[in-house]
């Protein structure tokens, strides 16, 4: 499958290029291909939505970009992942560490389980900031407050001292987003960031993503099983099924004239709901 072509971008060089990505897992002594020849380009300030049903390989694709798939189950991974021209495939775990969180932010689906239950929001934010940036604790705390304000956390000064279980689902996801943004990543990878939230909070969080992306000029790799969410946020869309790229297109083209039967099927599901 050919990489997505940019149709409404002002800078032609993609910030993230994934080329012929193949990921094979070992399942009970058998090699099982999980991702099959996935290629895509992510352009600066744009959003690429990856959509597909459960088990289609969306999350594995996202974790592959971070090079965070454990061995086992990983058997081998081939292809190219070029971030600003640098092939992440050739980097060791130690070389990847400065990129993770600093250049490539990541947001998980379930904010309850993705925040450490025994550390306060402040501790987790400060830890994250000081891990990548050379700042004093005081500066890190100030930065944490301004990040929480930026993501619309009510009473950030007070919420900082809370543990995750003391926050509502929406606030937790805002805290997660603040953590992911804390070191100004160029690419933000969000793996089903709105799935665990109820519909009104979902709309607020999507709005927050749009605002943040505009203000910070980030590229966003947004994963969701929900085409409506993708329609709201993405510029380009890649439809995945069984680890394969079924169809990639500009969001308008995909929604108005889908080529593949599977895409039409997915779109049909929205219309019936």
Partner 1 sequence: MFQSKWTYIGAVIIAVFALAAIFAPWLAPYNPYDMRLAEQLSLPTLEHFMGQDANGVDIFSRLMHGARISLSVGVIVVLISGTIGITMGLVSGYYGGWPDTILMRLVDILMAFPGLLLAIALVSVLGPNILNVVIALTVLGWVSFARLVRGQVLSVKEREYIQAARTSGQSDARIMVVHIFPNILSPVIVQATFSVAGVIIAESSLSFLGLGAPPGTPSWGAMLSEGKQVILEAPHVSIFPGLAIMLVVMAFNFLGDGLRDRFDPKSTIN
> Residue 214: which residues within 8 A CB-CB, separation 6 or more?
none
Place of tokens 């999350």: 59
Work out whether 133 is an interface residue with partner 1 (CB under 8 A): no
Min separation Cβ 26 and partner 1, Å: 15
Work out whether 131 is an interface residue with partner 1 (CB under 8 A): yes
d(CA 252, CA 138): 46
Min separation Cβ 25 and partner 1, Å: 16
Identify the residue among 117, 134, 136, 199 touching partner 1 (CB under 8 A). 117
Identify the residue among 108, 209, 222, 262 touching partner 1 (CB under 8 A). 108
Min separation Cβ 70 and partner 1, Å: 9
Min separation Cβ 82 and partner 1, Å: 19
Task: Tell which residue, 215, 217, 132, 214, has the closest CA to residue 179.
Answer: 132
Work out whether 222 is an interface residue with partner 1 (CB under 8 A): no
Q: Return the number of other C-beta atoms located less than 10 Å from residue 159's C-beta.
A: 19
The contact mask relative to partner 1 for 16-55 (x = CB under 8 A, - = no) is ----------------------------------------
Span near partner 1 by CB under 8 A; candidates 26-34, 36-44, 74-82, 176-184 = 176-184
d(CA 11, CA 3): 16
Work out whether 99 is an interface residue with partner 1 (CB under 8 A): yes
Min separation Cβ 28 and partner 1, Å: 18
- Return the H-helix or E-strand segment holding 147: helix 137-150
Work out whether 96 is an interface residue with partner 1 (CB under 8 A): yes
Min separation Cβ 234 and partner 1, Å: 21
Work out whether 188 is an interface residue with partner 1 (CB under 8 A): no
Choose between 132 and 241: whose C-beta lies nearer to partner 1: 132
3-class DSSP state for residue 19?
strand
Work out whether 119 is an interface residue with partner 1 (CB under 8 A): yes
Sheet with 16-27: strands ordered across: 30-42, 16-27, 74-83, 86-87
d(CA 239, CA 260): 10
Place of tokens 């971008």: 9
Identify the residue among 66, 82, 135, 201 touching partner 1 (CB under 8 A). 66
Contact 195, 130 (CB under 8 A): no
Work out whether 220 is an interface residue with partner 1 (CB under 8 A): no
Q: Is the dihedral of CA 237, 225, 115, 173 positive or negative?
A: positive
Work out whether 199 is an interface residue with partner 1 (CB under 8 A): no
Q: Between the CA of residue 172 and those of 71, 116, 122, 147, what are the distances in Å?
A: 30, 11, 12, 13
Contact 69, 23 (CB under 8 A): yes
Applying CB under 8 A, the residues found at the interface with partner 1 are 66, 68, 96-102, 106, 108, 110, 113-119, 127-128, 131-132, 176, 179-180
């Amino acid at each position: 499958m050919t990489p997505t072509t940019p149709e409404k971008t002002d800078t032609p060089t993609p910030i993230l290029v994934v080329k012929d990505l193949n990921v094979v897992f070992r399942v009970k002594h058998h090699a099982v291909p999980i991702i099959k020849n996935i290629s895509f380009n992510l352009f600066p300030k744009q959003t690429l939505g990856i959509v597909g049903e459960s088990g289609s390989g969306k999350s594995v694709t996202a974790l592959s970009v971070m090079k965070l798939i454990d061995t086992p189950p990983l058997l081998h991974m081939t292809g190219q992942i070029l971030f600003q021209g640098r092939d992440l495939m050739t980097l060791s775990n130690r070389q990847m560490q400065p990129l993770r969180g600093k250049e490539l932010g990541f947001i998980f689906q379930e904010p309850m389980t993705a925040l450490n239950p025994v550390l306060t929001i402040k501790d987790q934010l400060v830890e994250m900031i000081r891990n990548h940036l050379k700042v004093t604790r005081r500066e890190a705390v100030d930065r944490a407050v301004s990040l929480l304000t930026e993501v619309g956390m009510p009473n950030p000064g007070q919420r900082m001292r809370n543990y995750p279980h003391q926050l509502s689902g929406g606030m937790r996801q805002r805290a997660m987003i603040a953590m992911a943004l804390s070191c100004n990543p160029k690419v933000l990878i969000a793996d089903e960031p709105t799935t665990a939230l109820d519909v009104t909070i979902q709309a607020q969080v999507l709005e927050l993503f749009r605002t943040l992306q505009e203000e910070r000029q980030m590229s966003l790799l947004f994963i969701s099983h929900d085409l409506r969410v993708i329609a709201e946020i993405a510029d380009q869309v890649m439809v995945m099924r069984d680890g394969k790229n079924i169809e990639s297109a500009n969001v308008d083209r995909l929604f108005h004239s889908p080529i593949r039967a599977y895409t039409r099927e997915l779109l049909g599901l929205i219309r019936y709901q």
